[in-house]
C-alpha cells in the first residue's frame, strides 16, 4: 500500500522549501551587491588620489555591471539544489 503524506507534512515541506528559496536569494543578493559596493568605494577613494574625478553616474554604472555579472555567475552555483 502506498502511504500518502498528510496535509500538515505537505504544508511544512512547502513552507520549508519557500523559506530555503528566500535565504538562497538573499545570499545571492549579498554575494553580488557587497563586492560591487566595495569596488565602487575603492574607485571613489582612489580616483582623487590619482588626480581623476569619477562621475557618480559612472560609479553607479560600474557597480551595476559588477553586481549583474556576479549575480549571473553566482546564481547557477548558489541556487542549484
**Residue 81 CB coordination number (10 Å):** 6
Q: Rounded distance, CA 33 to CA 23, Å? A: 15
C-alpha cell at 49: 588620489
Question: What pLDDT shows up at residue 56?
Answer: 94
Question: What pLDDT shows up at residue 11?
Answer: 55
Residue with cell 520549508: 16
| Domain assignments of the chain as residue spans, ordered by start | 28-54
Question: How confident is the chain (81 residues) per 10-residue block, as mean pLDDT?
Answer: 56 66 86 94 92 93 95 82 61
Amino acid at each position: 500500500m502506498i502511504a500518502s503524506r498528510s496535509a500538515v507534512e505537505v504544508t511544512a515541506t512547502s513552507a520549508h522549501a519557500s523559506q530555503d528559496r528566500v535565504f538562497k536569494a538573499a545570499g545571492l543578493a549579498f554575494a553580488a551587491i557587497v563586492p560591487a559596493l566595495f569596488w565602487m568605494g575603492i574607485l571613489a577613494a582612489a580616483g582623487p588620489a590619482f588626480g581623476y574625478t569619477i562621475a557618480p553616474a559612472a560609479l553607479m554604472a560600474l557597480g551595476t555591471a559588477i553586481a549583474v555579472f556576479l549575480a549571473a555567475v553566482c546564481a547557477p552555483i548558489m541556487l542549484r539544489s
